[in-house]
Amino acid sequence: MIKAIIVDDEVSGVETLRILLEENCSDVSIVHTANSIIDGEIALRKLKPDLLFLDIEMPLGNGFTLLEKVKDMDFEVIFVTAYANHALNAIKEGAIDYLLKPIQISELIKAVDNVKKQVLLKKQGSANWHIIYNDLQNTFSAKKIGIKTTDGIIYLDIDSIIRLEGDLNYTHIFLNNKQKYTSSKTLQEYEEILMSKNFFRIHKAHLINIAFVHKYIKGEGGYVVMSDNTTLEVSRRRKNELLDRLS
């Protein structure tokens, strides 16, 4: 059972969401509702839920203010709001999903399913994170990976990924058809998922698909030129291992 808290200043919004969850998501137990940031923080620290349903626009601050106050805590976040322009900020804050009011039942169920997967991963332990994640992915396809975007989840062929570039808490993903996607997962998380798929971390900011390396240039650490003509620096301490992989 997933313990959840709803924080929304609109009483009608809280009740609507509660009813939708009771009727469609039996695995979710609403342990508390709050109508302000202050009450929300108190409830989060006291009850330590698995999931927070969070409105963005509220008196005396907003949902992002609340997340800043409890950034030391570990729970999943689903934003529920009438404002579509907040989608990018929601992903930056690590939200697992973003639901627009009026809430579509299918989207709510999908978001809760994503939370259940994340809670399972946490309970199994970080050491086996990439194994469990790949098992979940296998229900779709062993050769695909799900990338969360502002529009939902896009499933990409792993073999089409040339490289991944870390950018704080985001990862930019570059494909061989010149498309680019941005995900709210970190590069470290993708390294754990892809390290058995012919990918190699050449630098703190770069994870590459060995199959798309066009050329290696000598240097202190050196550089690789990828098939898309991107030149990437290689960390000095990763140089020898990379050369072993390339040979």
What's the CATH code of the domain at 76? 3.40.50.2300
Q: Are strands 2-7 and 28-34 parallel, antiparallel or unpaired?
A: parallel
51 and 152 share a domain? Answer: no
Smallest CA-to-CA distance from 7 within 73, 55, 43 is with: 55
78 and 178 share a domain? Answer: no
pLDDT at 149: 67
The answer to the question of residue 130 being in a domain is no
Residues in the chain with pLDDT values less than 70: 83-96, 121-142, 149-152
pLDDT at 227: 94
pLDDT at 135: 45
H helix runs in 145-231, sequence order = 187-194
pLDDT at 141: 41
82 and 146 share a domain? Answer: no
The answer to the question of residue 65 being in a domain is yes
Contact yes or no for 61/88 (Cβ under 8 A): no
Contact yes or no for 56/86 (Cβ under 8 A): yes
Domain range for 180 is 135-246
Domain end (from 102, 124, 146): 124
pLDDT at 124: 57
The answer to the question of residue 129 being in a domain is no
pLDDT at 119: 79
Domain end (from 105, 124, 143): 124
pLDDT at 130: 47
Torsion over CA: 176, 180, 182, 183 (sign): negative
Average pLDDT value over all residues in the chain = 83
187 and 210 share a domain? Answer: yes
18 and 88 share a domain? Answer: yes
Query: Which CATH number does the domain housing residue 220 bear?
Result: 2.40.50.1020
Domain end (from 73, 89, 124): 124
In total, how many domains does the chain have? 2
